[in-house]
Amino acid sequence: MRAFEFHPAHQISDAIRSLDEANGNARICAGGTDLLSRLKDDVDNPERLVCIRTLPDLRYIRNDKDGVRIGALTTLSTIEEDAYVQKQLPLLHQALQVTAAPQIRNQATMGGSICQRPRCWYLRGPFDCLRKGGKECFAVYGENKYHAILGGHLCYIVHPSDSATALVALNASVKIHGSKGEKTVPIEKFFVGPEVNILKENILEDDEIITEVFIPHPAPGCRGAFNKSRERQSYDFALASAAVQCRMSRGVCEDVRVVLGGVAPIPWRSREAEAVVRGKKLSAATIREASEAALRNAKPLTQNDYKVDLTKLLLTKSFQQVSI
């Protein structure tokens, strides 16, 4: 790892000032699990690290009348063990249980988890690829087994975060603090595909930090399921995953959000699948139709057409689980 200037922040305003004055040459250090691997691989070389784990009051899970608020520094294992999350947000709980290894979940934070950089080996290796400001995506003609089948545009990374997939399905929002003040953004607007910004996966600016994730209380009758496929069973990033959050009334699906992970540069909301099941009973035929609809526009690369059938299967499984 190369040397850097280390700035522990004790107030949110310190952190923002420190990020701002570094003019893009600083990175935020919270749990550090993703950051340190990038620094070791020498694919990121910031002059300054702004350590925010010293910020007080960003470790909490609070329930209020609108929903549950998770402080950005709360670790994934704390969220996984939370009684409310286990009972009311099974989708998030299931996603966290299959996220990384237990030791990493003890370190990784809520904010950092959704800001992880993609695991694309060209991005993480010595390749001057589009996402690093180069001229080419090497995955198109190279090794693309783990790359995107949906939403790829010049660059074919997949978003690595399981919690991001779950949070989009739960209609969460993200609170961001920056030099210009504070704002809350629906999480779907937080992530951006390569057609919007080829260099970044989200809208977070250089002088901004996430301070809170908010998840609205699910309406009565809501059910959720998250299924993920991994190459290694003990722990791994998703080959594909499927999250379904569904409000059922007398066997009919009144409202639904369907989000796919591991297949697109952002957590991929499938409005096509949602349109198929909304207002219908979740029969085997409807589920099949919805799964087909979700993958209809998939454009596999040379080595990843397996992801199409795999994703359909995972989505079918999630639909079956919420229909029971």
Partner 1 sequence: MAKKLKRKTQKVHIAFTLNGEPCEVAFAPHKTLLEVLREDLNLTGTKHGCELGECGTCAVLVDRKPVLSCLVLGLTVEGREVTTVEGMQLADGSLHPLQTAFADLGAAQCGYCTPGFLLTAKELLEKNSKPTRDDIKEALSGNLCRCTGYIKIYEAVELAAARMRGEAAEVPEEVVLGLK
Please give the Cα distance from 13 to 235 (Å, whole number): 37
Q: Is the dihedral of CA 168, 227, 143, 300 positive or negative?
A: negative
Question: Does residue 63 touch partner 1 according to CB under 8 A?
Answer: no
β-pairing, 48-51 vs 26-29, is: parallel
Interface residue with partner 1 among 5, 66, 128, 182 (CB under 8 A) is: 5
Question: Does residue 107 touch partner 1 according to CB under 8 A?
Answer: yes
Of the pair 118, 151, the CB lying nearest partner 1 is at: 118
Q: Which one of 46-54, 165-173, 245-253, 261-269 is the stretch in contact with partner 1 (CB under 8 A)?
A: 46-54
Question: Does residue 106 touch partner 1 according to CB under 8 A?
Answer: yes
Q: Is the dihedral of CA 150, 198, 108, 15 positive or negative?
A: negative
Question: Does residue 324 touch partner 1 according to CB under 8 A?
Answer: no
- Residue 206: which residues within 8 A CB-CB, separation 6 or more? 19, 20, 22, 23, 24, 26
Interface residue with partner 1 among 20, 143, 188, 254 (CB under 8 A) is: 20
Of the pair 74, 270, the CB lying nearest partner 1 is at: 74
Question: Does residue 104 touch partner 1 according to CB under 8 A?
Answer: yes
Please give the Cα distance from 72 to 210 (Å, whole number): 6
Give the phi and the psi of residue 70 in degrees, each rounded to 5.
-115, 120
Of the pair 124, 288, the CB lying nearest partner 1 is at: 124
Instruction: Classify residue 96 as exposed, middle or buried by CB count within 10 Å of its CB (0-12, 13-18, 19+).
Output: buried
Please give the Cα distance from 264 to 159 (Å, whole number): 6
Interface residue with partner 1 among 10, 11, 13, 40 (CB under 8 A) is: 40
For residue 281, the minimal CB distance to partner 1 (Å) is 35
SS3 per-residue string spanning 240-274: EEEEEEEEEECCEEEEEEEEEECCCCCCEECHHHH
Q: Interface mask (CB under 8 A) for partner 1, residues 69-98, using x and -?
A: --------x---------------------
Question: Does residue 22 touch partner 1 according to CB under 8 A?
Answer: yes
Instruction: Classify residue 58 as exposed, middle or buried by CB count within 10 Å of its CB (0-12, 13-18, 19+).
Output: buried
Please give the Cα distance from 158 to 239 (Å, whole number): 9
User: What is the footprint of partner 1 within residues 185-244 (CB under 8 A)?
Assistant: 234-235
Number of residues that bind partner 1 (CB under 8 A): 34
Question: Does residue 178 touch partner 1 according to CB under 8 A?
Answer: no
Interface residue with partner 1 among 1, 219, 275, 284 (CB under 8 A) is: 1
In the complex, the residues that contact partner 1 under the rule CB under 8 A are 1-6, 8, 20-23, 25, 29, 32-33, 36-37, 39-40, 47-49, 51, 53, 77, 100-104, 106-107, 234-235
